[in-house]
Amino acid sequence: MNAAEEVGVSASIQPSWRQAVAPYRHPILRRSLWQLANTLIPYFALWYLMVLSLQVSYWLTLALAIPASGLLVRIFVLFHDCCHGSFFRSARANAVVGFVLGVLTFTPYYQWRHDHAIHHATAANLDRRGVGDIWTLTVKEYQALPPLKRLAYRLFRHPLIMFGLGPLYSFVISQRLPRPGMGRRERHSIWWTNLALLVIVTAAALTIGLKAYLLIQGPIILLGGAAGVWLFYIQHQFEGVYWERQDKWSFEMAALKGSSYYKLPAILRWFTADIGLHHIHHLNPRIPNYLLQKCYDENPIFQTVKPVTLASSLKSLKFRLWDEDQQRLIGFRELKAMGTA
């Protein structure tokens, strides 16, 4: 049985997924440029309004931070497309624009591109976890940990840490320093991004003041980072998700069942640039974000994937561990109820 059949599509009446995604792989320059315009112009306009709002009320500043953080999420998805080489046909254009968008999202272009490529090659593979993904242990791995490491894992997986302090640490601190063994281009990407950020912060300190910059950029990066990490989390940790060991792992199944279709309201689809159609994105990451919905609408093979809605996605907040015996994600309470905590 192939991947299409396992998600409920008869292979005899449906084209293969390779045939299905092929027509959508090519960026359309005018659409990419329009996305840059309709994302960056409102973002910078909101930033300017937030500067002015500091003279009125900080509550107004925080209110403006909400749509600004949504635009930051959208900027990150465009950056993400550049990393996949799907935003422009030119590799150089993807690199240049990707670097600029990476600076706005505090993310080094080549370093993140490298780690994210590994994520795509290893998603849902239990034997190849650790790079570009969210720390997830199996039940047996968790049980084998000493008490302090269990506590560290519990803290890491707590929603307040994962979607609160975690994104702030990841975007503001962790991505400022290269890891041991990192390639030359990835290291240089970090240093150049850091230099660009230093220039921006210095310019802000000399114009609007460092305090004003932090009062504006702080809530934007906090809210945008939390939303971004939640999106990444729900794309691979949801009810019914597929995970498998290397000897049984399938690329098609990792995409069609190991990556979610996060069905969002229209306004959230816009702010997230349709990245909720993650099952299609994982089948072919060269599809630009603005063609994912078209690919979905025109190919029934993708419509058989059960969507994750805003309401149903909340169930994922309780997931902590992968139970290999039951082939599903479980929470700590369930582990305790099983008498194996």
Distance separating the N- and C-terminal Cα atoms of the chain: 36
Token pair 């935003």 is found at 87
b/e code 51-84 from CB counts within 10 Å (16+ = b): bebbeeeeeebbebbeebbbbbbbbbbbbbbbbb
In the predicted model, is pLDDT for residue 177 greater than 80?
yes
Percentage with pLDDT > 70 across the chain? 95
For 97-119, the pLDDT digits (tens) are: 999 999 999 999 999 999 999 99
pLDDT at residue 150 in the model: 96
Sheet strand arrangement including 321-323: 137-138, 321-323, 328-330
- Read off the pLDDT band of 32 (50, 70, 90): very high
Of the candidates 310, 268, 312, the residue with the CA atom closest to the CA atom of residue 66:
268
pLDDT number for residue 340: 58
Integer Cα distance of 147 and 330 in angstroms:
20
pLDDT interval class at 218 (50, 70, 90): very high
pLDDT at residue number 337: 81
Instruction: Tell which phi-psi region holds residue 60, choosing left (phi > 0), alpha (psi between -120 and 50) or beta.
Output: alpha
Q: How many CB atoms lie within 10 A of CB 319?
A: 20
Give CA–CA dist 111/131, Å, rounded.
12
pLDDT tens digits for 290-327?
A: 999 999 999 988 988 899 999 999 999 999 999 999 99
Query: Of the candidates 138, 140, 119, which has an alpha carbon nearest to the alpha carbon of residue 128?
Result: 119
Q: Which tens digit of pLDDT belongs to each residue from 51-100?
A: 999 999 999 999 999 999 999 999 999 999 999 999 999 999 999 999 99
What is the rounded CA–CA span in Å between residue 311 and residue 316? 10
Q: What are phi and psi of 93, to 5 degrees?
A: -65, -40
Instruction: Scan for tokens 């591109």, then name that residue.
Output: 113
Residue type, 306: K
Rounded percentage of the chain residues whose pLDDT exceeds 90: 87
